[in-house]
Amino acid sequence: MKFVPLLLVFWLIGFSAVTQAERPFVVIHQQGDNQCHTFRIPAIAMTNDGTLLAVYDMRYRSRRDLQGHMDIGLSRSTDGGKSWESPRPIMDMGAFGGLPEDQNGCSDPNILVDKETGEIVVSAVWTHGKPGTHQWRGRGSEPGLKLSQSSQFMMVRSNDDGKSWSEPENWTAKLKDPAWYLFAPAPGSGITLENGTLVMPTQGRDENGMYFSNLMWSKDHGKSWTLSNWARSDTTECAVAQLADGSLMLNMRDNRNRSDKSETNGRAVSVTTDLGASWKVHASDHGSLPEPVCMASLISHKLDDGRTVLFFSNPRNKSKRKNMTVQMSLDDGNTWSKKLLLDEDGGAYSSLVMVDDQTLGILYESSRADLVFQTIQLGEFGL
């Protein structure tokens, strides 16, 4: 079994003065490694067996988005992220339909671990044909369900801790309204609620091509899924977390921030108590979490003393994808504190995970490499 070596390791002493340069990181991919031009769009989860699974786009020929030659790749770590197995594709549509691989690209993975059964589901979007297009613009994905019309909502599953994976399942006809231009998973991670319900953040383009963010949920371990109402419009990539009272927070990338660089720049945030049948705008909406219009990550964690803590990561900058930062909230996102800067020069997409009860992990696009993994002890947040 091959492992990706550590690029740089510093041993940390204490929690109080860990600088960006001192924090250890593990390189998952450097541009050009593994016969792959670029890795992008990270998502990470911890399995029931304690294995970290990192998934991402393997973009073989360039950094550009769909359409292009790209698969969903996987790296596994069984030692808390210190070392990683070599990347390998787990969703690869090959030359489906007689079209070349650069017209069968898969992108934007979401990973969800069913905490009751242990099954792992990775979903992504597949575009067949349509060279030179982009699924979020124009006719890159269109109304209808056919491969020639719409990008497809795909899933693969593993029941052996991520060692082997099923053939791709196409859920488009079961999930997408044919009038919509697009329905897709939101890159990042899904969650298992305390009552066993599976929740996956999702996104799309409606019948007018307008962007929206929502979620979908399953009470039968992923055999069937129900779509929520939209949380917001003109928003896309989103992250979901369960709050202390059991409600769900959806934290969303907002296209309004392309032009809004004022005090109201920031993530769109909504909350639901009924699995998305209805939504309420959260107090932190627009203003608390600045963004340059980019994907972000949000997770919740139950502390030993019973409190629920939220962790949020994004490039904390109104204009540029830089200043990758992790923040903490102990009041369900009403206020955010203890900002830890991980990468001043870079940082774009990211995904958070609890490595253990006292350790937070983050997989993100960095100035140092395509993808890096770092850990943060909760003591650094004063927890």
Q: Give the active site residues.
A: 237
63 to 38, 57, 97, 267, 304: CA distances (angstroms): 6, 10, 25, 25, 42
Query: d(Cα 70, Cα 373) in Å, to the nearest integer?
Result: 22
**Residue in this structure with the two tokens 């371990």, named with its chain if needed:** 221
Tokens representing residue 378 in the block: 């909760």
Q: Give the C-alpha separation, 31 to 36, whole Å.
A: 7
Within 13 Å and on the Cβ side, how many CA atoms surround 110?
30
Torsion of CA 205, 207, 208, 211, to 10 degrees: -20
Show Cβ contacts of residue 377 under 8 Å, excluding neighbours closer than 6 positions.
Answer: 12, 15, 358, 359, 360
Using alpha carbons, select from 62, 53, 146, 42 the residue that is nearest to residue 105: 62
Written as one string, the DSSP assignment of 279-296 is -EE-TTTTTSS--SS---
Is residue 39 a contact partner of residue 369, using CB atoms and an 8 Å limit? no
